[in-house]
Amino acid sequence: MDDQTTVNVAFAGLGAMGFGMASNLVKKGYKVTGFDVSAPTLDRFNAVGGEIAPSPREAAQGSSIFICMVANSHQVDSVLFDPANGAVQGK
């Protein structure tokens, strides 16, 4: 696997579990771009060194890995396939 300086990670869902996971990756030296629906959570993630994005699509751009850590299947569907902002384009 590439070292952490060449692996860009996108993270959607910075809640109870996702924030800790994404923050740990930042501490390990990975470039992590996070998305969450909560502006204060994004501010908190930025404060620990994470990049923030206004949508899952923008978080995913240029990333080698996309992690979706949300609560339910409806949220997964929205994060991945929303026509305007989903990480996967062209569904």
Q: Give per-residue pLDDT as tens, 57-89.
A: 999 999 999 999 999 999 999 999 999 999 998
Closest CA to 30 of 22, 18, 42, 38: 22
pTM above 0.85, yes or no: yes
1 belongs to a structural domain: no
49 belongs to a structural domain: yes
Number of H helices, E strands in the chain: 4, 4
Terminal-residue alpha carbon distance, the chain: 30
What is the reported pLDDT for 4? 57
Domain count, the chain: 1
Domain enclosing residue 36, as ranges: 8-81
Sign of CA dihedral 50, 52, 56, 59: negative
